[in-house]
Structure 1
Amino acid sequence: MKSILISLKLLVRKDRKFYCLIKKITGITPVNAHYYHLAFLHKSLMRKDEQGAPLNNERLEYLGDAVLSAVVAHELFLRFPEKDEGALTKMRSRIVNRHNMNQLALKMGLNQLIRTQPLADMAQTHIPGDALEALIGAIYLDRGYKQTYRFILKKIINKQPNLISFVENDTNFKSLLIEWGQKNKCNIHFVTEEYPSQLANEMIFVAQAFINNKMLGEGEGSSKKEAQQNAACKALSNVSEIRELSLN
């Protein structure tokens, strides 16, 4: 009954479209709208509150990251009693890594709600994943731990069709490329440069992966590590060129 009354009140509000999107995406009826609006406010807008403090989603992201980590750790602990702490840690990191969180955020449609400076392609940034973590923080503050647990279970953990296969799939593309180079006696090296991004006070990294001094992969990222991983991934995908090099 309480939930119905809340829903009725939300329908008469000016931002009912926002509420409807939140409910559609999360399955949760917001009570305190402030948390959810804040969850999608990126720091690039340079907003401040009445006291002059920064008004963005970074604090909620910090909270959501901690709650997400705790929930995933708990669920993996229950599901895999035979795994030791090292394996569980690796499994958790695979689920909550930035690439996976970005992909999940985009599939949820969070890009419809994020407020930031205009971008050519939000999918090429870490903003969607950050917003998803901030949303988790908002749900936690608004509806409590149980509701947040259900959301993470349904929208993140259970979205992996085969959890074992997902967490054990090695996606450290840079390591894979270096191992391939050692096996095939090829020289592997990376060149990474830093450029100003479209967002205020942020930088973007562009990396190139070279095999035997031939550039076979280029990638971008919000960090040097992410850019090199993306470059290595593209280099590994050029199988025919790599094979030709290994024969020379």
Structure 2
Amino acid sequence: MRLIRKIFSKSRSLEDGIFFDSISEILGFAPLNLEHFKKAFTHRSSNKQDSIGNAINYERLEFLGDAMLSAVIAAHLFNKVPAGDEGYLTKMRSKIVSREHLNELGKDLNLVRFIESKVPVQHFGENIHGNIFESLVGAIYLDRGYEYCEKFIQKRVIIPYVDIARLEGKVISYKSLLIEWCQKEKRQFHYDIFDDNGIDGQRFFGVKLSIDEKVIAKARATSKKKAEEKASQRAYFAFQKKIDLK
């Protein structure tokens, strides 16, 4: 890495040099082509294009990184849990690469500090953290190939976060869990969603979750999906003993 850094330092700008050092520290190795990693943090609002008019942003790298994460995690689980069937392995992989978990990974590395955008960072939603984590993985694959990509995922995802026993008990979606239970128990359920704007003018959604015509839980959030999930979580804890027995 020292030799690569020495060669690169002869032609890099001060700004590129700082970025190079920061990325190298996160990766654990030096990039060969810094442009891959610059693109990994370029938001579409920058309106950048290459010489033939193709958009330059992290979205294609995000797609690639998602595929690499899934492949590496799938291989790890396949080898780690030889008795796991297809359904089990799929569910465990989903828990590891869930949007919530990827957002946590992006936050832990503070990747938003590198984003080039015309939109203020505070205006981005939570998923920006996970999106750029995936785009970083995609950049690693383009820059160094599968082996380095696998090493990075092992270092930053599998070793510190993948605990099979803990993941087996982790709930990905309380809504899915609750619906599955209701269907098995032949219980009627309904999510009643309505606008619930606050005094600050920000748009909120309220939800009432009814089971067998009785309101079990209420919640409020900035999106319908979040409000439903929050209400489902509250309902789950109300019925936890019954659900966990199934």
Q: TM-score range by the shorter chain?
A: 0.7 to 0.9
Determine if contact 2:206/2:220 at 8 Å carries over to the other structure. Answer: yes
Whole-angstrom CA distance in 1 between matches of 2:222 and 2:158: 27
How far did residue 220 of structure 1 move?
3.7
How far did residue 173 of structure 1 move?
1.5
Whole-angstrom CA distance in 2 between matches of 1:190 and 1:156: 38
Q: Which residue of 2 aligns with 1:174?
A: 175
Specify the SS of the correspondent of 2:54: coil
CA distance 1:92–1:17, shift in 2 (3 Å): same
Q: Which residue of 2 aligns with 1:150?
A: 151
Determine if contact 2:217/2:231 at 8 Å carries over to the other structure. Answer: no
Determine if contact 2:96/2:162 at 8 Å carries over to the other structure. Answer: no
Of residues 112, 120, 123, the one that matches 2:122 is: 120
Determine if contact 2:217/2:232 at 8 Å carries over to the other structure. Answer: no
How far did residue 192 of structure 1 move?
6.6
RMSD, matched Cα: 3.0
Determine if contact 1:192/1:228 at 8 Å carries over to the other structure. Answer: no
Q: Which residue of 1 aligns with 2:61?
A: 60
Residues 1-50 of structure 1: CA distance to partner in whole angstroms, max 9, x if unpaired?
Answer: xx322111344522111111111222121110110000011223332223
Q: Which residue of 1 aligns with 2:42?
A: 41
Whole-angstrom CA distance in 1 between matches of 2:222 and 2:153: 28
Whole-angstrom CA distance in 1 between matches of 2:7 and 2:182: 62
Q: Which residue of 1 aligns with 2:4?
A: 6
Q: Which amino acid aligns with 2:91?
A: K
Q: Which amino acid aligns with 2:120?
A: P
Q: Which residue of 2 aligns with 1:217?
A: 219
How far did residue 216 of structure 1 move?
2.5
Determine if contact 1:30/1:142 at 8 Å carries over to the other structure. Answer: yes
Q: Which amino acid aligns with 1:218?
A: R
Specify the SS of the correspondent of 2:55: coil
Q: Which residue of 2 aligns with 1:245?
A: none
Whole-angstrom CA distance in 2 between matches of 1:133 and 1:173: 25
Whole-angstrom CA distance in 2 between matches of 1:159 and 1:218: 33
How far did residue 162 of structure 1 move?
2.5
State whether structure 2 residue 161 is matched by structure 1 residue 163. Answer: no
Determine if contact 2:174/2:236 at 8 Å carries over to the other structure. Answer: no
Unaligned runs of 5+ residues in structure 1 are 194-204, 240-248
Query: What is the aligned residue count?
Result: 221
